[in-house]
Amino acid sequence: MSSIIKYPLINEKTLKLLREDNTLVFVVDRRFSKLAIRSALEELYELKIANINTLVDVRGNKKAFVRLTDEQIALEIATNLGLM
């Protein structure tokens, strides 16, 4: 499962998403589907996920935009992961 998720992505844009939309962003392996990414994140980080959107950027990195349910606060999760 950990081979699916490469690392969490933190920059100015993702911090805005983190605060305003309760969304975390991860760089993931391109070969895996949204369902595989969802199950890996739920298992590794114990997240309650409302929605996942993915995109492949011009560099070939696949990013997963993970919106959490209202029960969890993305800022707290990011702090627990050591991102903040």
Domains and CATH numbers, the chain: 5-80 (3.30.70.330)
The pLDDT value recorded for residue 70 is 94
CB count within 10 Å of CB 61 equals 14
pTM here?
0.93
Instruction: Tell me the per-residue pLDDT of 8-58, one tens digit each, with 9 for 90 and over.
Output: 999 999 999 999 999 999 999 999 999 999 999 999 999 999 999 999 999
Is the Cβ–Cβ distance between 45 and 7 less than 8 Å? Answer: no
Candidates 40, 36, 39, 23; CA nearest to 78 is 23
Beta strands in 1-84 (DSSP E): 5-8, 23-28, 49-56, 62-68
Q: Averaged over 49-69, what is the pLDDT? A: 97
Distance CA 33, CA 37 (A): 6
